[in-house]
Amino acid sequence: MAGVLLWVICPKENASFFATTLYSLVPRNRLQVRSYNSKGCSRFKSSTGVYAAASLSSAVANPPRSSAEKVYEVVLKQAALVKEQKKERALDVRKENDQTDSMTRGDLLNGAYDRCGEVCAEYAKTFYLGTLLMTPERRRAVWAIYGMYVSLSFSLPVHLVPLHLCPLWRTDELVDGPNAPHITPKALDRWEQRLDELFEGRPYDMYDAALSDTVSKYPVDIQPFKDMIQGMRMDLKKSRYKDFDQLYLYCYYVAGTVGLMSVPVMGIAPESKASTESVYNAALALGIANQLTNILRDVGEDARRGRIYLPQDELAQAGLSDEDIFNGKVTDKWRIFMKGQIKRARMFFDEAEKGVAELNDASRWPVWASLLLYKQILDSIEANDYDNFSKRAYVGKAKKFASLPIAYGRALMGGSSKFAMPTRS
């Protein structure tokens, strides 16, 4: 075990020795190579209903294919993956975990999961507390997903990590990796290759081993993981977004993807009558809502890094410019602009709530807690008179603890059984 820990710290010195050991961690009989052809849709109404209604820009012409439509194809693919697995067998996580593995492999995997949990506890304290509300199996799986993106963030130099970019749904903590050489597109290409190998059961390090085991147990598709890397590529090239269509795609890459990754782990309630597509669509909406909230909270801090994650055309319509953002003065124009941005984020939260009720009963409480805490960040921005230049909006400990019983009460309400499949024509 100590050898594996040392290898994580000094991978070059130990890579050849531990490659075979890590490969053996994932049972071969659980490996699957999944590939599905996503079906395109000519028109998109459900998620784009929120997307279009929430868009404040009148300057954007109707594109042949909006970002929301492109992203929805990924949603359909994830839903198809779950449906296919349901046909093959019912997913029984406890049964999977009761399988007898060799002592060595079991110990190494347990150590890998524990290390992911330690990283989560260290770099995202509030989120870590939320995972403690999950069942042990789901908690470990979420830690593994988190560990992957902490590892990715560590490879980014601090000044290139946007303050709102986070691996998974944190509330207030910033994941800042140590100083590192400037990451390049080639480096991200290598990460993507590493991801391919991980999904094929060939983990590179301890974090990979835990995630490789997780994706062998749950119907998790590789596409959202690759899309998050694409979001990091986007951050290397862009520091401005001309309209909400561009920003929506970015939000999907860096946060909506996490929603799609998490649904297979959280599970859909057996009694739910909602379509699989609609539940995934709600998870996507929660990721978008969280990311928009992060962006609005961190306007001032991002501006000090030379980055503006607000639609340029909407700023112009409000009579605002980049210079106004960098000056950081709260004006009536800024207040009006922020009211519209907050309204849009809340609309995505409203869309997300429909899907939380359809999750497995053991998963509803932590997801409700996360959703309610994030929505309160928007309240805090309003309470600060929309000053997100010099004041950081946050949810105090008292409010966090007060939200837990409220979230628990909502979780007990169960599914609506009325959440229909998105309408397309």
* Lowest-pLDDT range of 101-110, 160-169, 223-232, 400-409: 160-169
pLDDT number for residue 190: 86
pLDDT, tens digit, 9 for 90 and up, residues 359-370: 999 999 999 998
Going by C-alpha positions, the residue among 242, 303, 274, 290 that lies closest to residue 67 is 242
| Rounded Cα gap, residues 191 and 208, in angstroms | 11
Taking alpha carbons only, the member of 17, 35, 59 closest to residue 318 is 59
* Rounded Cα–Cα distance for residues 150 and 185 (Å): 18
Quick: pLDDT tens for 54-80. 444 444 445 567 888 888 888 888 788
Say what the pLDDT of residue 183 is: 67
Question: Which pTM value belongs to this model?
Answer: 0.74
Residue range 120-141: mean pLDDT, rounded: 85
pLDDT at residue 153, as a whole number: 58
Residue 152: pLDDT band by 50, 70, 90 thresholds? low
Q: Say if CB 413 and CB 269 are below 8 A apart.
A: no
With a cut of 60, say whether residue 285 has pLDDT above it: yes
- Greater pLDDT, 329 or 419: 329
Question: Residue range 93-104: average pLDDT?
Answer: 47
β-pair partners for 251: none
- The 10 Å Cβ neighbour count of residue 237 is 7
pLDDT of residue 286: 95
The pLDDT score that the predictor gives to residue 164 is 44
- Report yes or no: 356 and 367 within 8 Å, Cβ to Cβ: yes
d(CA 214, CA 137): 10
Task: Judge contact between 288 and 74, C-beta under 8 A.
Answer: no
Q: What is the mean pLDDT of residues 326-346?
A: 98
| H runs (alpha helix) in 204-256 | 206-217, 223-237, 244-251
Cα 280 from chain centre: 12
Across 397-407, b (16+ Cβ under 10 Å) vs e yields eeebeebbeeb
* Maximum average pLDDT range among 20-24, 233-237, 302-306, 346-350: 346-350
Q: How confident is the model at residue 150 (pLDDT cuts 50, 70, 90)?
A: low
Domains of the chain: 2-26+45-412 (1.10.600.10)
Smallest Cα–Cα separation from 139: which of 163, 116, 108? 116
CA dihedral 347, 345, 351, 126 (to 10 degrees): -140
- Count Cβ atoms within 10 A of the Cβ of residue 91 and give its class: 0-12 exposed, 13-18 middle, 19 or more buried: middle
Residue 181 has pLDDT above 80, yes or no: no
- Confidence check: pLDDT of 316 > 70: yes
Q: Indicate if the pLDDT at residue 7 is higher than 70.
A: no
Average pLDDT over residues 352-357: 94
